[in-house]
Copies of this chain bind each other. A is one copy, B any other.
Amino acid sequence: MKIEVPFSKALRLINPGPVVLATSKYEEAVNIMAAASTTPISHDPRLLGVSISPRRFTHELIEQSGEFVLNIPGLNLARQVKLCGTRSGRNIDKFREAHLTPAEAKLVSVPLIEECLGHLECTLVEHYSLGDHTLFVGRVVVTQAEAGTFSETWLLDDEEAKRLHHLSGTYYGVLGARIRV
């Protein structure tokens, strides 16, 4: 039997996408934002999309710099993800507040988050205003993953390296077993 899902919760049906920590930087301003609305788009060229509200500080920084990084946290960073998803970087230094370490990226001037499992460095190619959000389309220019966590696919065999998926509010799903169908 199917129940009608309240319209305000409609998009939660295609949550949970993987949680990412998006970093951005323009001049001296740097920020970290937790984002759950991302998608692969194209293979050639390698494009991805991330949907961000214009109210976010990150939105400003990406528009100004034309660059961003998606950092992939493991389960061990759950509390940091929550902090980065609930506080605005306009007033606080989230690297310091969350005890995360900025690291130099290879091709963009935005910092990576050292503690994350993987990083996608992106340059902005398009952005579309869609409803109350902006869909930023980035071209992936470098990708890295923590040794032992990725080989052809995410391996998901280490508890700390399991992936977090945002369900809503303070609820997350944990991506456990890798299976072959």
Contacts and interface: CB of A to CB of B under 8 A. Distances in A.
A145 interface: yes
A153 B180 contact: no
One complex includes copies of this chain to the number of 2
Interface in A136-181: 137, 140, 142-147, 150, 152-154, 156, 163, 165, 167-181
Interface stretch (A25-33, A43-51, A93-101): A43-51
Interface residues of A, number: 80
Contacts of A92: none
Contact of A132 (B42, B150, B168): B42
Most chain B CB inside 10 Å of its own CB: which residue of A5, A38, A145, A152: A5
A73 to B, nearest CB: 11
Interface of A: 1-5, 7-18, 20, 36-51, 70, 72, 78-79, 81-82, 118-120, 126, 128, 130-133, 135, 137, 140, 142-147, 150, 152-154, 156, 163, 165, 167-181
